[in-house]
């Protein structure tokens, strides 16, 4: 082929190429060629070229498409001069083009015809061998300057045409043309060129892979460094937040009664920063701690009152100022009420909460518009010395005052500020005055006596009934008006206002003077403030203290007041503070249930029924909610009942151990089966979760009974035990041993599957599985409780220590987070299972050994029974969700401002409570 001959000639001459010039000059004409030549240019320049090097062949292409002119020709002439080869795109358009003719003429004048390549894009070229030149008639694509120039048939190439873009135009196959041109220019065969391209491509790929690997490695290193930096920053942040959370926990515990509200905020913030078992315990302790707030004054405080809606608190100080506080926020709201010149001795909200009356040492009573913080009218000037007490009538129309002089017992019309008269017939100074709930009776106390008046006629109702002291005193009506409480000296006496006779024995603290009294809204409890700064709640029905005294004030408590919903108690003291106490955390829910002398007690799984085996060989049932006995007792003259009793998991069956094992249908109150035990001292009974098996232990033995068998067939276990418990899945039975360990049994095969090591130093009285079956708790006469891993039988953490005497019973809460234990020391204690630490103060109230405890299904109420012949219910709702409990108590007071005030800088601000 002509291309081959030309290639060989070019190879002999050597490759002609300069980095500064062009390897190829493309000469063409016509719009058709203009469309595809830029692509040809790119393909030629890209031929066999490493991606990181310049082209081996540079191509000059003028695509301006303008007419010939001096400036354009200068550019073309420069391109021709710097080019090694002239490639003429031969076509009828090129033949007719003056532009192409001029480029060829310049080339022939300055260079050789042998460096011209012809590429036929349209028309044809025909070489006439006879003439040794082009056939002028048949060569329709030949530019005229090329006629007669070639000594022999020159090199030319015709392009293959194909349709492009479906528009009907035919365009060349560019790759073939490019290879042909490149092979001639470079002096290589097309095969060599393709081989070189393949080598370069492989080299390029290798280079690209190496570069990619290097870049990948660099990216990996950079990413790793970045990740390490991020992880380091995150870890540093976690460590900082953990340190701040620990600081907040410590501060929360230290604040105690100094700033209860702040203590709760700090505990909750610690949980939000680092939700861990330790911070949850801090929240838990804060939520069950009775101190709930502190309203600080600069002067002694002698008076306090809640508004009827419970949202605000009014307190009167020794500076003569009445302050209004938000109950939830525990901050002063609005302007203080200023008008008195001396100590404010009493404050009282009107029934509608819109007005407030205040009394003072200055001998005046003032009525205030609470919303506007303004005084309504002129003060009531009694001209009777110090005023100690003021009280609104239930309808808010009348105001009664009491003070140092007998004439201070005055009745005023609130609307007109006019005096309606005095309460006559009582020649002594009075300390406190109160209206009965129906507004018909007024009571006042003074000189240790209580005097009643008819509110309508303002005449005395009989003679005063005396207390035991000649000084001061406090008086309060119960919400139902059937009881009056009076205080004088160190005692509180309850009276029947109709007969004016005492109701039971006095409620005596044994030492400090009683300075103030208030009934709870439900009348079940009475709060008493004492001269030593303590506050005691009393059970009105049983005439006994409700829990331990609230300790926080350092001197006299002059006033106490319950919130309208009964959840909080406010106390005002000479120590310049008003303290708020969370009544729910006292935790005894209502009065105790008198269940009488007994052998055994069990709470039904649904938490509704208490079954008690009495000493009269009967079983009685109490409704826990109503605290009343329900239905007829279970009595069987043929058996002698003993200590053990247990409900089935469906609440339908009761098992009672006697000289025989007797099963009862609880609803029908009839026996449904019995079996001889071979012993009359079964100490513990337990149903399997499916109710098909019953386990019992006592008198040094343990048995399993198949309740589905026709004759209640039993099987003895080779162990001396007094306590039994099934795992939640019913597959495992736990029994104590005489070695003070616990043996685990396969309930199906009756075979031993493990035993805990010795740990207790005295008899194990109770064994219980956690709700998930992973842990086991043992309560012992050695005053400790231990937790064990049920799978490995290893002890979990240190023993739970706190009881001062033997522990008789233990039970997990339904969610497994809390363990409750009862003890011979008369107390119940709650334990946080995750940390093994005690939650709050012990639950006190029982006067004998606590022999049993049980949670209701929701875990919000704990029932305990004792040798004092009572069962008591305890509100332990805070242990279920302490965060929710605190947030509900705060009523929106845990604001971002509180976070900023209580939390050190560093951790991001977080909502203390969920928005919902």
What's the mean per-residue pLDDT of the chain? 87
Q: Among 507-521, 571-585, 685-699, 802-816, which range has the highest average pLDDT?
A: 802-816
Question: 744, 766, 756, 615: which is closest to 683 by C-alpha?
Answer: 766
Average pLDDT over residues 152-162: 78
Q: Which residue has the higher pLDDT, 294 or 643?
A: 294
The confidence score (pLDDT) of residue 132 equals 87
The secondary structure of residue 144, as a DSSP letter, is G
Q: What distance in Å separates the CA atoms of residue 386 and residue 371, rounded to the nearest whole number?
A: 28
Average pLDDT over residues 270-295: 93
296 touches 315 (CB < 8 A)? no
| Whether the predicted pLDDT of 49 surpasses 90 | no
How confident is residue 30, by pLDDT bands cut at 50, 70 and 90?
confident
| Whether the predicted pLDDT of 342 surpasses 90 | yes
Average pLDDT over residues 702-719: 80
* Longest Cα–Cα distance in the chain: 162
Average pLDDT over residues 309-324: 96
Question: 811, 768, 764, 770: which is closest to 784 by C-alpha?
Answer: 764
183 three-state secondary structure: helix
Average pLDDT over residues 410-423: 91
| Whether the predicted pLDDT of 62 surpasses 50 | yes
Q: What distance in Å separates the CA atoms of residue 83 and residue 60, rounded to the nearest whole number?
A: 8
How confident is residue 20, by pLDDT bands cut at 50, 70 and 90?
low
pLDDT in tens, 660-695: 778 889 988 888 877 665 555 788 899 999 999 999
Which of 1-10, 355-364, 659-668 has the weakest average pLDDT? 1-10
| Whether the predicted pLDDT of 195 surpasses 90 | no
The confidence score (pLDDT) of residue 178 equals 80
Q: What distance in Å separates the CA atoms of residue 331 and residue 891, rounded to the nearest whole number?
A: 13
Q: Among 61-75, 115-129, 670-684, 804-818, which range has the highest average pLDDT?
A: 804-818
| Residue 531 CA: distances (Å) to CA of 476, 514, 572 | 18, 6, 12
201 touches 194 (CB < 8 A)? no
How confident is residue 601, by pLDDT bands cut at 50, 70 and 90?
very high
Average pLDDT over residues 358-376: 94
pLDDT in tens, 861-887: 999 999 999 999 999 999 999 999 999
Which of 482-486, 575-579, 669-673 has the weakest average pLDDT? 669-673
Label the pairing between strands 301-306 and 474-477: unpaired
Q: Which residue has the higher pLDDT, 645 or 915?
A: 645
90 touches 141 (CB < 8 A)? yes
Question: 646, 644, 630, 648: which is closest to 599 by C-alpha?
Answer: 644
| Whether the predicted pLDDT of 18 surpasses 50 | no
The confidence score (pLDDT) of residue 208 equals 77
In the chain, % of residues over pLDDT 90: 52
Task: Give the count of alpha carbons within 13 A of 180, CB side only.
Answer: 21
State the angle between helix axes of 174-186 and 190-255 in degrees (0 to 180), rounded to the nearest 10.
110
How confident is residue 2, by pLDDT bands cut at 50, 70 and 90?
very low
DSSP-assigned states of every residue in 756-822: PPS--SS-EEEEEE-TTSSEEEEEETTSEEEEEETTT--B-SS-EE--SS-EEEEEE-TTSSEEEEE
Residues paired with residue 360 on neighbouring β-strands, in sequence order? 344
State the angle between helix axes of 2-13 and 174-186 in degrees (0 to 180), rounded to the nearest 10.
40
The confidence score (pLDDT) of residue 191 equals 73
Question: 604, 594, 656: which is closest to 629 by C-alpha?
Answer: 594
Q: What is the 3-state secondary structure (H, E, C) of 594-647?
A: ECCCEEEEEECCCCCEEEEEECCCEEEEEECCCCEEEEEEEECCCCCEEEEEEE
pLDDT in tens, 535-555: 999 989 888 888 889 999 999
| Whether the predicted pLDDT of 33 surpasses 90 | no
Residues ≥6 apart with Cβ < 8 Å to 633: 614, 618, 619, 620, 621
How confident is residue 252, by pLDDT bands cut at 50, 70 and 90?
very high
How confident is residue 11, by pLDDT bands cut at 50, 70 and 90?
very low
The confidence score (pLDDT) of residue 165 equals 53
Q: What distance in Å separates the CA atoms of residue 696 and residue 871, rounded to the nearest whole number?
A: 24
The confidence score (pLDDT) of residue 19 equals 44
The confidence score (pLDDT) of residue 382 equals 78
Question: 354, 288, 282, 352: which is closest to 324 by C-alpha?
Answer: 354
Average pLDDT over residues 176-192: 79
Q: Which residue has the higher pLDDT, 579 or 598?
A: 579
Q: What distance in Å separates the CA atoms of residue 331 and residue 321, rounded to the nearest whole number?
A: 16
Q: Rounded to the nearest 10 degrees, how much is the dihedral formed by the CA atoms of 673, 677, 680, 684?
A: -80
How confident is residue 709, by pLDDT bands cut at 50, 70 and 90?
confident
Average pLDDT over residues 711-733: 87
In the chain, % of residues over pLDDT 70: 91
Sign, Cα dihedral of 661, 662, 665, 671: positive
Average pLDDT over residues 832-840: 95
Which of 427-436, 594-603, 634-643 has the weakest average pLDDT? 634-643
Question: 641, 643, 681: which is closest to 662 by C-alpha?
Answer: 641
pLDDT in tens, 780-793: 999 999 999 999 99
The confidence score (pLDDT) of residue 216 equals 87
Q: Among 166-175, 205-214, 295-304, 510-519, which range has the highest average pLDDT?
A: 295-304
| Whether the predicted pLDDT of 320 surpasses 60 | yes
Average pLDDT over residues 415-420: 90
The confidence score (pLDDT) of residue 640 equals 53
How confident is residue 472, by pLDDT bands cut at 50, 70 and 90?
low
């Amino acid at each position: 082929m002509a291309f081959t001959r030309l290639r060989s000639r070019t190879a002999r001459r050597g490759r002609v190429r300069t980095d500064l010039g062009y390897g190829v000059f493309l000469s063409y004409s016509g719009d058709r060629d203009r469309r595809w030549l830029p692509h040809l240019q790119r393909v030629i320049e890209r031929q066999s070229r490493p991606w990181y090097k310049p082209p081996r062949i540079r191509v000059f292409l003028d695509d301006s498409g303008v007419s010939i002119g001096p400036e354009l020709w200068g550019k073309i002439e420069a391109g021709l001069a710097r080019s090694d080869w002239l490639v003429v795109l031969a076509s009828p358009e090129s033949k007719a083009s003056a532009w192409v003719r001029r480029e060829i003429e310049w080339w022939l004048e300055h260079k050789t015809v042998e460096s011209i390549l012809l590429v036929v894009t349209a028309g044809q070229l025909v070489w006439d061998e006879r003439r040794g030149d082009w056939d002028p008639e048949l060569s329709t694509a030949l530019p005229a300057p090329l006629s007669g120039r070639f000594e022999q048939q020159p090199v030319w190439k015709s392009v293959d045409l194909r349709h492009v873009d479906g528009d009907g135009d035919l365009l060349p196959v560019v790759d073939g043309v490019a290879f042909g041109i490149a092979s001639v220019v470079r002096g290589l065969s097309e095969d060599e060129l393709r081989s070189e391209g393949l080598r370069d491509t492989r080299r390029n790929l290798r280079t690209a892979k190496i570069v990619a690997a290097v870049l990948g490695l660099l990216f990996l290193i950079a990413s790793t460094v970045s990740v390490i930096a991020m992880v380091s920053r995150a870890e540093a942040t976690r460590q900082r937040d953990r340190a701040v959370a620990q600081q907040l926990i410590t501060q929360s515990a230290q604040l105690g009664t100094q700033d209860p509200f702040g203590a709760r905020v700090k505990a909750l913030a610690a949980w939000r920063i680092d939700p861990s078992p330790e911070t949850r315990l801090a929240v838990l302790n804060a939520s069950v701690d009775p101190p709930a707030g502190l309203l600080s004054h600069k002067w002694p405080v002698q008076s306090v009152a809640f508004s009827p809606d419970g949202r605000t608190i009014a307190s009167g100080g020794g500076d003569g100022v009445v302050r209004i506080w938000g109950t939830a926020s525990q901050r002063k709201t609005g302007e203080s009420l200023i008008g008195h010149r001396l100590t404010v001795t009493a404050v009282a909200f009107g029934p509608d909460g819109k007005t407030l009356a205040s009394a003072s040492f200055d001998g005046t009573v003032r009525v205030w518009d609470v919303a506007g913080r303004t005084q309504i009218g002129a003060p009531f000037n009694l001209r009777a010395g110090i005023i100690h007490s003021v009280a609104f009538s239930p309808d808010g129309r009348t105001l009664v005052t009491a003070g140092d002089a007998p004439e201070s017992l005055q009745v005023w019309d609130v609307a007109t500020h006019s005096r309606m008269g005095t309460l006559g017939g009582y020649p002594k100074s009075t300390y406190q005055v109160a209206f009965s709930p129906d507004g018909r009776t007024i009571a006042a106390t003074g000189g240790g006596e209580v005097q009643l008046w008819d509110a309508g006629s303002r005449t005395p109702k009989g003679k005063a009934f005396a207390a035991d002291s000649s000084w001061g005193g406090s008086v309060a009506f119960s919400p139902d008006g059937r009881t009056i409480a009076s205080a004088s000296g160190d005692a509180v006496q309850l009276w029947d206002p109709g007969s004016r006779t005492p109701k039971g024995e006095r409620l005596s603290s044994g030492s400090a003077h009683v300075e103030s009294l208030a009934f709870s809204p439900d009348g079940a409890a009475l709060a008493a403030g004492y001269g030593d700064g303590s506050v005691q709640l009393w059970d009105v029905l049983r005439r006994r203290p409700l829990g331990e005294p609230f300790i926080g004030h350092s001197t006299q408590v002059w006033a106490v007041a319950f919130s309208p919903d009964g959840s909080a108690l406010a106390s005002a003291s000479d120590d310049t503070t008003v303290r708020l106490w969370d009544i729910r955390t006292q935790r005894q829910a209502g009065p105790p249930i008198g269940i009488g002398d007994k052998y055994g007690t069990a709470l039904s799984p649904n938490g509704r029924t208490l079954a008690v085996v009495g000493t009269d060989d009967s079983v009685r049932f109490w409704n826990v909610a109503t605290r009343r006995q329900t239905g007829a007792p279970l009595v069987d003259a043929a058996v002698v009942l003993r200590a053990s009793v247990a409900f089935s998991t469906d609440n339908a069956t009761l098992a009672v151990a006697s000289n025989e094992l007797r099963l009862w249908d609880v609803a029908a109150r009839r026996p449904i089966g019995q079996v001889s035990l071979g012993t009359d001292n079964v100490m513990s009974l337990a149903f399997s979760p499916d109710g098909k098996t019953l386990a019992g232990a006592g008198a040094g033995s343990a048995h399993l009974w198949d309740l589905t068998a026709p004759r209640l067939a039993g099987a003895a276990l080779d162990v001396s035990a007094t306590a039994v418990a099934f795992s939640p899945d019913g597959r495992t039975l736990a029994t104590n041993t005489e070695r003070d360990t616990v043996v685990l049994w396969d309930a199906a095969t009756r075979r031993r599957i493990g035993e805990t090591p010795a740990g207790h130093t005295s008899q194990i009285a109770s064994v219980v599985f956690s709700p998930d079956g992973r842990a086991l708790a043992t309560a012992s006469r050695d005053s400790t409780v231990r937790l064990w891993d049920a799978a490995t039988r290893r002890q979990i953490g240190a023993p739970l220590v706190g009881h001062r005497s033997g522990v008789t019973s233990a039970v997990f809460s339904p969610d497994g987070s809390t363990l409750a234990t009862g003890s011979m020391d008369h107390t119940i204690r709650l334990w946080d299972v995750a940390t093994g630490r005690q939650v709050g103060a012990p639950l006190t109230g029982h006067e004998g050994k606590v022999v049993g405890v049980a949670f209701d299904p929701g875990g919000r109420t704990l029932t305990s029974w004792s040798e004092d012949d009572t069962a008591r219910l305890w509100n332990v709702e805070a242990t279920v969700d302490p965060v929710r409990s605190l947030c509900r108590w705060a009523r929106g007071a845990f604001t971002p401002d509180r976070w900023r005030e209580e939390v050190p800088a560093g951790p991001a601000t977080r909502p203390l409570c969920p928005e919902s």
